[in-house]
Chains A and B, each alone.
Chain A
C-alpha cells in the first residue's frame, strides 16, 4: 500500500461546480498535512496547510480526519484557473520525511 494515495482523476467539471478530493495516508503518526497545486510543467506551489480543526481559504476548504486517516480538499464555485494537479502532502512521523501523493488532475471546462 502506498503511504499516501490519491485518486489520479482526471476530474472534469463545469465552471462553477463544487469538487472534492480525498487523500488517504497510512502512517498514523503523521503530523502535518498540506495541499499543493502543480500546473503543467511547473513546480508545486503550496495551496494550504490542513489543520485538525479544518480550515478555509476563500473557495477552498481543507479537512483532516485522523480517525480514518484522510484529508480532503473542497473547491467551491470552481474557476477555469483552478485546472491543475492537486498534490496531497503528508509529513511523516520522522523529523524530515515528507511524502507526496501522486496527484489528482482537475480540469474545469467553460
Chain B
C-alpha cells in the first residue's frame, strides 16, 4: 500500500522556538495533504488542508500565522509550528491523498509527538 513518512517522529523543544515537521509520500504523488492534531484520548482534529502549489486551507480556530504549511511538491508538505508554547504539545499527524485510484483513501504518516517545555 501507499506509504507516508513523517520526520521527526518525536521532538522536544523549549518554549518560543519553531519546529518544522516534514510529511512525505514515498511511493505516490499526493495532490492533497492534511495536517491533524490529536490531544491525549481525543480524536484527530483537522488543522489544515494543503494542495500542491497553492495556499493551505485552515480550519476554523487554527492560526495560519502560527502553523505555517508549505506544500511545495507532490511528495512533500511541511508544517512549521512557530513560537511553540506548552499548549502546542500534541501528536501531529499528516495524511496524504493521491490521484487516480487513490483519491478516496487517506494514508497517514506515523505522526510526530511534539513536547514543548
Task: Please list the residues of chain A having a beta carbon within 8 angstroms of any beta carbon in chain B.
Answer: 32, 34, 41-46, 49, 87, 91, 96, 98, 100-103
Contacts and interface: CB of A to CB of B under 8 A. Distances in A.
Given A41-B91, A43-B93, A100 B44 contact: yes
B111 A42 contact: yes
B105 interface: yes
Max chain B C-beta neighbours (<10 A), residue from A32, A41, A98, A102? A98
A101 B3 CA distance: 23
Contacts, number: 37
A98 B104 CA distance: 10
Max chain A C-beta neighbours (<10 A), residue from B43, B106, B108? B43
A100 B93 CA distance: 13
A16 to B, nearest CB: 28
B110 interface: yes
B108 A34 contact: no
A103 B108 contact: no
B104 A43 contact: no
Given A43-B111, A101-B43, A32 B91 contact: no
